[in-house]
């Protein structure tokens, strides 16, 4: 007689092997691409014992992968122009190209649009993937968005109360104005408890203010502090454990939008090839100083450094 405690749902086992997310594993089962002990399984909810049952996906045995797998967790600050996928028929750049050279096979946790930048988790842990992507307020995602023009109070209320778009209800859990730009455009900070496709862009389009820039700055307790665009790091054990903690994660709302992020690594190299380098502010100042006419008053010498307590805070933590 089998020990029921050792049985697990097939989609969970496939996700644990790092072959796909749990949702993708369900699609594999529905389409008859999974067998257990030689029998095709196409019913969701079917359980198996990975220590005793021979489980194959697309004809390949996954039990050895389960036996030797090591769970890894990467946090990437995704640049624009990268696809959150493991393959692309159009050969567009993939987010996996920004991972360390010898990184094991991982999948993106959720998605960011091709032209959206910001935080993205990549892992081979199906449990964490399910926990982060399922709807609910257990893992809020925080975004900074720049929109064309400035929405009025009535339009902002529409966003806060939610709206139905193409038969699907969309809602923003929290909406905070950040600042206005010189061109009368506006920055906002949004908190989402769900992740519908193109949700933020579609909602602002519905009120007549299209999105110009979009960046995810926090996933649950993780923020982009100290992680430039294009950079990647592994999560610590404590950071991973906190996702599974029963304590509710409440993101902190900032009072200022983040400054322009700094590119690094492979993303920086690609940016250099695509965009001409402009002179830095230091170079411009140096040229101005050199061209100063004779007899001009030299600039004041810098005053001694202020203490940390006296420095103004330029960015509040999320």
Q: Are residues 101 and 197 in the same domain?
A: yes
**Do residues 89 and 233 both lie within one domain?**
yes
| Euclidean distance between CA atoms 158 and 151, whole angstroms | 10
Rounded to the nearest 5°, which phi and psi values hold at 240?
Answer: -70, -45
Domain containing residue 138: CATH number: 3.30.2350.10
β-pairing, 211-219 vs 117-123, is: parallel
State how many domains the chain has: 2
Claim to verify: residue 137 and residue 96 sit in the same structural domain:
yes
Q: Are strands 107-109 and 117-123 parallel, antiparallel or unpaired?
A: antiparallel
Are 162 and 235 members of one domain? Answer: yes
Neighbours of 214 (CB within 10 A): 22
pLDDT tens by residue, 284-308? 333 333 344 444 444 444 444 444 4
Residue 185 belongs to what domain range?
A: 73-243
Q: Does residue 140 lie in a domain region?
A: yes
The answer on 236 and 156 residing in a single domain is yes
What Å distances lie between residue 205 and 5, 156, 170, CA to CA? 49, 12, 13
28 and 97 housed in the same domain: no
Name every residue whose Cβ is closer than 8 Å to that of residue 83 and which is 6 or more positions away in sequence.
92, 93, 94, 95, 114
35-38's contacts with Cβ under 8 Å and 24+ in sequence apart are 36/10
Token digits for 3?
């020990």
Nearest-angstrom CA–CA distance, 301 and 32: 75
Residue 143: name the closest of 121, 166, 172, 122 by CA.
172
Residues 193 and 128 in one domain: yes
Model-level pTM?
0.65
Task: Give the pLDDT confidence score for residue 67 in this predicted structure.
Answer: 76
User: Looking at the structure, do residues 133 and 21 belong to the same domain, yes or no?
Assistant: no
Q: Classify residue 175: in a domain, yes or no.
A: yes
In a domain, 283, yes or no: no
H or E element at residue 23: helix 22-30
pLDDT below 70 — which residues of the chain? 1-6, 248-318
Q: Same domain for 9 and 99? A: no
Helices and strands (DSSP H and E) totals, the chain: 9, 17
pLDDT in tens, 133-174: 887 778 899 999 999 999 999 999 999 999 999 888 998 999
pLDDT at 278: 36
Q: With contact defined as beta carbons under 8 Å apart, do 142 and 195 qualify? A: no
Catalytic (active-site) positions = 113
């Amino acid at each position: 007689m089998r020990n029921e405690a050792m049985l697990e749902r097939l989609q969970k086992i496939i996700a644990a092997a790092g072959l796909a997310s749990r949702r993708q594993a369900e699609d594999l089962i529905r389409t008859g691409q999974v067998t257990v002990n030689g029998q095709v399984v196409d019913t969701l909810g079917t359980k198996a014992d990975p220590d005793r049952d021979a489980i194959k996906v697309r004809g390949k045995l996954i039990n050895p992968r389960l036996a030797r797998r090591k769970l890894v967790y990467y946090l990437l600050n995704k640049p624009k122009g990268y696809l959150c996928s493991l393959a692309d028929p159009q050969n567009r750049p993939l987010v996996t190209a920004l991972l360390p050279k010898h990184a094991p096979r991982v999948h993106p946790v959720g998605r960011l649009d091709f032209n959206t930048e910001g935080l993205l988790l990549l892992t081979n842990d199906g449990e964490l993937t399910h926990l982060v992507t399922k709807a609910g307020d257990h893992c809020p995602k925080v975004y900074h968005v720049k929109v064309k023009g400035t929405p009025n109070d009535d339009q902002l209320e529409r966003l806060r109360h939610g709206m139905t778009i193409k038969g699907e209800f969309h809602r923003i859990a929290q909406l905070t104005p950040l600042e206005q730009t010189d061109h009368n455009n506006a920055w906002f900070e949004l908190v989402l408890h769900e992740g519908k496709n193109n949700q933020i862009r579609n909602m602002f389009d519905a009120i007549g203010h299209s999105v110009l820039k979009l960046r995810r700055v926090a996933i649950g307790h993780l923020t982009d502090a100290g992680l430039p665009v294009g950079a990647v790091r592994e999560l610590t054990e404590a950071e991973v454990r906190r996702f599974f903690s029963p304590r509710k994660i409440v993101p902190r709302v900032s009072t200022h939008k983040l400054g322009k992020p700094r590119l690094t690594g492979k993303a920086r190299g690609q940016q250099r090839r695509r965009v001409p380098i402009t002179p830095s502010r230091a170079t411009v100042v140096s040229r101005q100083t050199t061209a100063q006419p004779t007899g001009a008053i030299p600039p004041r010498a810098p005053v001694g450094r202020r203490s940390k307590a006296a420095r103004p805070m330029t960015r509040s933590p999320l």
